[in-house]
Copies of this chain bind each other. A is one copy, B any other.
């Protein structure tokens, strides 16, 4: 990592370069932390957004956090390597070699993960008991997204009953992600959907308590539903991620946060009203649409499929070599494509942070 760029103007960076506006990001962290400072729900920031331990550390320092969330065992290993504790892998982890890694990890950090099947629970318990390790497990409940998870109600109770009797694992509660509500643009409709979804997790927890199984935690949520499900009685933790960096898609959903992330690109070719920049889908995640040009609303990237090029229509009269900032539609996949982010303030680089979990897939 080249730290010699610190103090230089951002427009001198080799392009494409991932930029993070320090002050905008800090305001986002503070705003979300403030929201949860009074409780009862707390924050468990989702690392998958940026995969950068330096930024994760800053998120925890901002307050109101009980720990950190990630999506993959390999991400959890990076977080533990950085010294973090109380790590939730909000996902299933399967297969003997991964469970061996999980056992090693559980001996040096407080780790939990989601489960949704008997096979999985039994295998985790066997491996942990044999390694003299303990992991926390949260039963993933499918509250309407239709991905992983058991159905709410009785199936949760059936699986919980199995878990509490097994060695090497500790029942920590429920993982419930209202993902099908997150991208609903109408906020009232989103709130209705998200609350209806989360109520199924809350009722499942009630059922378990009635039957004598304590449920310490319900964990779920996202930046777009943090102030909706995060204020419901019984919800313990919100796994918000994108609020740290933001992107143009999430700005439509949660406009109280600022876009702190951009990709600096250079103009490499021009023609009347058109410019070509040196970044394509290998440098900007575009699942929710092409990037937008910062401060230049009339300029449009109409299609964005090239690997290393972006064609901008209705462009101002930029010269070859000029730099522009592009706002991605999807921050999470964008950060994963880079190896470092250049943190800047007042037009200058103030720090370079490795994206140390980039490419951590397993």
| Contact stretch, chosen from A35-43, A90-98, A203-211 | A90-98
| Contact stretch, chosen from A19-27, A219-227, A302-310, A345-353 | A302-310
A97, A268, A319: residue with the most chain B Cβ atoms closer than 10 Å = A268
B14 touches A308 (CB 8 A): no
Point out the residues of chain B lying under 8 angstroms from A305, CB to CB: 287
* A97-137 CB contacts (< 8 Å) to partner B: 97-98, 116-117, 119-120, 123
A16 within 8 A of B: yes
With A91-B308, A117-B320, A146-B311 as contacts: A282 and B14 at CB distance below 8 Å: no
A319 touches B270 (CB 8 A): no
With A306-B147, A319-B119, A333-B281 as contacts: A16 and B362 at CB distance below 8 Å: yes
* A119-174 CB contacts (< 8 Å) to partner B: 119-120, 123, 146-149
A44 CB to nearest chain B CB (Å): 17
A9 within 8 A of B: no
Point out the residues of chain B lying under 8 angstroms from A362, CB to CB: 14-17
A332 within 8 A of B: yes
Question: Which residue of B is nearest A151, CB measured?
Answer: B271
With A71-B308, A321-B95, A338-B361 as contacts: A147 and B276 at CB distance below 8 Å: yes
B307 touches A361 (CB 8 A): no
- 28 A-B residue pairs with CB within 8 Å: A12-B97, A14-B362, A16-B361, A16-B362, A17-B362, A48-B307, A71-B307, A72-B308, A91-B268, A91-B308, A92-B268, A92-B276, A95-B266, A117-B269, A120-B268, A147-B269, A147-B306, A147-B309, A148-B268, A148-B309, A281-B285, A281-B287, A282-B332, A282-B361, A283-B361, A287-B305, A337-B361, A358-B359
Cα-based distance from A338 to B278 in the complex (angstroms): 22
Q: How many copies does the complex hold?
A: 2
Question: Which residue of B is nearest A51, CB measured?
Answer: B282
Question: Which residue of B is nearest A263, CB measured?
Answer: B361
A336 within 8 A of B: yes
Cα-based distance from A311 to B142 in the complex (angstroms): 14
With A97-B12, A305-B287, A359-B338 as contacts: A92 and B278 at CB distance below 8 Å: yes
* A310-332 CB contacts (< 8 Å) to partner B: 311, 319-321, 332
A307 touches B333 (CB 8 A): yes
A343 within 8 A of B: no
Known contacts A15-B362, A92-B269, A95-B321, then 14 further A-B pairs from the complex at CB < 8 Å, ordered by chain A residue: A71-B307, A91-B268, A92-B278, A94-B266, A94-B278, A95-B266, A116-B269, A117-B270, A147-B269, A281-B285, A282-B332, A282-B361, A307-B333, A338-B361
A279 within 8 A of B: yes
Cα-based distance from A306 to B182 in the complex (angstroms): 13
A285 CB to nearest chain B CB (Å): 8
- 7 smallest A-B Cβ distances: which pairs? A92-B268, A148-B269, A14-B362, A71-B308, A119-B320, A94-B321, A283-B361
A187 within 8 A of B: no
Mask: chain A, 65-95; 1 = CB below 8 Å from B; 0 = not: 0000001100000000000000000011111
A326 CB to nearest chain B CB (Å): 13
A31 within 8 A of B: no
